[in-house]
Amino acid sequence: MKISPARKAAFDVLLRVERDAAFSSALLPQFESQLNEKDRALCHELALGVLRRKLYLDAFIEQLSSGKRIDIEIRIALQLALFQLLFLDRVPAHSAINESVELAAHANKSSAKGFVNAVLRSFQRGQPKLIFEDAAGRISIESSHPLWLVDKWIADFGFETAVAICVANNKTPSLAFRPINYDEHLIERLKQTDGIRASDIVRNCFIAETFNSEVRRFADNGSIYFQDEGSQLVAQCVIDIAGRNVLDVCGAPGGKTSMIAKSTGAFVVAGDLHFSRVEGLRNTCRNQSANVQVIQLDATAGLPFNEKSFDTVLVDAPCSGTGTIRHNPEIRYSIRKTDIDELSGKQLLILENASDAVAGNGRLIYSTCSLEREENEEVGALFLQRNSEFSLELPPIERRFHTSEGFGRTFPHRDDMDGFFMAVFRRR
């Protein structure tokens, strides 16, 4: 039986994510560019659907296979079939099963075709009942989030909020984007296009529920840039308080940097650590005709600028990315509690090094796309304790995003955008 291009591409993406620790957000555009529109949509749904439900699917596989050790290629073939059987009513069961059997052969595992068929036919005859030790264990498996992360969110935010975050992370997010150039004619066309609405919190930001033909047309002609609403909110925060010059310390991939440069008259400098990221940052700015001076720098070792030389400094720090799980579902499986502890130390170091470049009465903006207090509130509090010449200001964003501690936060379950943290410090 021939394997559909969509299922084959989804399988290959999932295998790369598993084997190479690659990111689905980078792989999917590569594989989907070779597919027609119908197959592209199915590939996208299958790959991200499996990643969002991996632990749940694996729980069934463990029962159906009696805990037998399974090669990763065969596990992915089973995951793809089970996802379709459980969540895609429009896909015929025989197609899901038969093509996953053939995926075993595609992976040079023909000897496992009978095993794949037997497991899936067994599931079709009767879905096994999953048993959980407690409520947190149920949330972990049913929402496919590691138990340690579920426990942590329960401790940090409470049980109901933790559940809501997990549920939101498995929903297909809407598409947020902005016009690359401010063009009143384009803005008006976007406002009048069915399926597209203007953001009510970020200027010139638009939201589409699906990647329909109209959105694709705007994307193909290079008139829009996809960027989450929360990310744009951070950039707008910088724009609203930007001085004559702005430094973006951790600028890659360049979405915030280019937005700041395009929306202010400031002299903008941006950098990042690795050459590949610097090149990506430079390309993003070049493609948007954003006037940015791009350099390579190591912010953990100090910055190559005179002290107090920038009115505004943004530290969009490297972080765990747990606020972006709905867009990058594989993050939840790779991040560890020890990673969060290590990142918080690095974030504080970068923030303190960057603070040297802030001019008198200037602002230092700290942001992450993490939900974790260790990377956010705790870093901000430690910075203030150790740097008495800085004071905390409320971010210039809507009050609903302000926290009781004087910071800014967005949440995927509450705000229908990625989870971002913002802190604004003013040098006295």
Residues assigned a catalytic role: 369
Residue listed under structure tokens 């990643």: 51
Long-range contacts of 282-286 (CB under 8 A, 24+ apart): 282/254, 283/254, 284/253, 284/254, 284/255, 284/257, 284/258, 285/254, 285/257, 285/258, 285/261
Q: What's the CA gap between 382 and 225, in Å, rounded?
A: 35
Measured over the CA atoms of residue 259, residue 262, residue 264 and residue 268, the dihedral's sign is positive
Q: Which residues, in sequence order, are CB contacts of 64 under 8 Å at separation 6+? A: 119, 122, 123, 128
- DSSP annotation string for 189-207: HHHHSTTEEE-SSSTT-EE
Q: What's the CA gap between 130 and 56, in Å, rounded?
A: 9
The C-alpha angle with vertex 120 and arms to 119 and 125, in degrees rounded to 5, equals 100
Look up residue 194 and give its two tokens: 């069915």
Question: 248 - beta bridge partners?
Answer: 270, 314
Residue listed under structure tokens 């942001």: 367
Pairing relationship of beta strands 358-368 and 310-316 according to DSSP bridges: parallel
CB atoms within 10 A of CB 327: 18
- Closest to 390 measured CA to CA, from 421, 364, 353, 367: 364
Ramachandran angles phi, psi of 230, nearest 5°: -65, -40
